[in-house]
Structure 1
Amino acid sequence: MTLPLTEMPRDQHSDDDRQDLARLLRRLADDGAGTGLTVAEIRDRLDERAYGLLVLILAIPCLVPGLYGVPQVVGLAILILAFQLLLGREEPWLPRWFLNLRARAAWLEGMADFTEKRLGWLERLSRPRLKAFSVGPGERFAAIFMILATVTIVLPMTNTIPSVALSLLAVGLIQRDGLFVLAGAAVATGWVGLLSAVGVGLLLGADWALRLMPGM
């Protein structure tokens, strides 16, 4: 017999790769019906999936092209989470005042509804596979590319593509889908490579222009 999520002991890991994102959020909405849940209660119920879901929630607003201000603030929070994941911390540390914030029941319900209606494609495309890239050392692998992507998300007007990478990496951790983690890593690497190439090109172009100036 499976214990309801609200009755599950704190020290017992509830990580179940058969529970996809929509089911996880629906269970949160059901548990928070009426009074809602604090961030600490949400984190404890998500257990090992807290990192992936928190990063996904933070990355989704940054998908909006040309956004300024929000990615810079969100990027710092994602970096804090990613470094903790890289260091192997079992659950994310967050300031006490933040953990005490309460998510209203209506917000939890709305988040669950949105996921079920708009993100149903996740259930069709993602599933537990290639777990070497999404569990244990694979989580540290994902954290490296989260950091890589986040470094570029704070640059002005460059937030959308690294946010896609972060979303893929987060979904990979939530769904225990190593293929999504690899896809996110590929997007992050490609984006950083492109920005690096553009930066080198601009530097070389500037150098070339400066060399021409004395002869003008």
Structure 2
Amino acid sequence: MPQGPTDRQEPISEILREFGARESLSVGEIVDRFGHRAFGALMFVFAIPNLLPLPPGSSTLLGAPLLLLSPQVALGIATLWLPKAVDDRRIAGADLAKVFDRLLPSVERIEKVSRPRLTFLFGPVGDRVIGVICSLLSFVLILPIPLGNLLPALTIGVLGFALFQRDGLFALVGYGLAAVSGAVLFVAADLVIDGVRHLVNWFGAA
């Protein structure tokens, strides 16, 4: 895909620092700045803050955009589409800086060891697999589960970063995290169902 004039291969950390230094910017401006890598970048941007201690309900607010982004990757859509109300919404640079300043040192260390590699894992099929996984985990992310959003958020963040960087090694790490997330969610769901069954039997015997 051809690159636009604003689509330079800069590290995601550098672009996020640029956003934080601005007074405000619209979501559409953020998308344009990331260019053809907007899908992976925005998946990373909306997922990773969930690893920080945030006010209750934040994971739902951050997960909602992922429900819009990830299915587009799964469907193989080349150009990111956002509703006009979302596209025009403005965000204060100070708010972005407040969230990402705590994360950027770690991101910068990761960027030093990340590069395009194992690129056969991407493309029409690989990108869609990432989109499907992230779509499923986005549904989990918006649920009000105490600490239940950490592993899904990390998985989406890693896969989004891999998509952004075209780094197949990070994609493999993301797939591993996805498998662990699925196993943990399965066990958790089984425990909840088992607990509900015991409660029903207890009340029935009372």
What is the TM-score when the length of structure 2 is the normalising length?
A: 0.77
Q: AA paired with 2:180?
A: G
CA distance in 2 between counterparts of 1:98 and 1:208 reads: 45
1:189 alignment partner in structure 2: 179
Is the contact between residue 22 and residue 115 of structure 1 (CA under 8 Å) also seen in structure 2?
Answer: no
CA distance in 1 between counterparts of 2:104 and 2:168 reads: 22
CA distance in 1 between counterparts of 2:193 and 2:133 reads: 26
Q: Aligned-pair RMSD on alpha carbons? A: 3.5
1:20 alignment partner in structure 2: 11
Is the contact between residue 41 and residue 160 of structure 2 (CA under 8 Å) also seen in structure 1?
Answer: yes
CA distance in 2 between counterparts of 1:214 and 1:109 reads: 54
Is the contact between residue 36 and residue 79 of structure 2 (CA under 8 Å) also seen in structure 1?
Answer: yes
Tell me the alpha carbon deviations over residues 2-37 of structure 1, each in whole angstroms, 9 at most, x when there is no partner: xxxxxxxxx942466x543235446x55xx987764
Of stretches 121-130 and 203-212 in structure 1, the one that deviates more from structure 2 is: 203-212
1:178 alignment partner in structure 2: 168
Q: AA paired with 1:175?
A: Q
Q: AA paired with 2:140?
A: T
CA distance in 2 between counterparts of 1:174 and 1:195 reads: 27
Q: AA paired with 2:149?
A: N
> 5+ unaligned residues in a row in structure 2: which ranges?
none
Q: AA paired with 1:119?
A: V
CA distance in 2 between counterparts of 1:64 and 1:193 reads: 23
Tell me the alpha carbon deviations over residues 31-83 of structure 1, each in whole angstroms, 9 at most, x when there is no partner: x9877643323312322210111111111221135863111222221011001
CA distance in 2 between counterparts of 1:111 and 1:66 reads: 9
Q: AA paired with 1:89?
A: I
Of stretches 202-211 and 155-164 in structure 1, the one that deviates more from structure 2 is: 202-211
1:198 alignment partner in structure 2: 188
For the structure 1 residues 203 and 110, does the alpha-carbon distance in structure 2 shift closer, same or farther, using more than 3 Å as the test? closer
CA distance in 1 between counterparts of 2:197 and 2:22 reads: 64
1:1-216 aligned within 5 A: 12-14=2-4, 19-25=10-16, 37-64=25-52, 68-103=56-91, 117-155=105-143, 156-157=145-146, 158-204=148-194, 207=197
For the structure 1 residues 33 and 199, does the alpha-carbon distance in structure 2 shift closer, same or farther, using more than 3 Å as the test? closer
1:4 alignment partner in structure 2: none
> 5+ unaligned residues in a row in structure 1: which ranges?
1-10
Identity %: 29
CA distance in 2 between counterparts of 1:115 and 1:19 reads: 17
2:31 match: secondary structure: helix
Q: How far off its partner does 1:187 sit?
A: 1.0
For the structure 1 residues 147 and 88, does the alpha-carbon distance in structure 2 shift closer, same or farther, using more than 3 Å as the test? same
What is the TM-score when the length of structure 1 is the normalising length?
A: 0.74
CA distance in 2 between counterparts of 1:207 and 1:104 reads: 48
For the structure 1 residues 25 and 67, does the alpha-carbon distance in structure 2 shift closer, same or farther, using more than 3 Å as the test? closer
Q: How far off its partner does 1:115 sit?
A: 6.8
CA distance in 2 between counterparts of 1:103 and 1:37 reads: 6
Is the contact between residue 43 and residue 66 of structure 2 (CA under 8 Å) also seen in structure 1?
Answer: yes
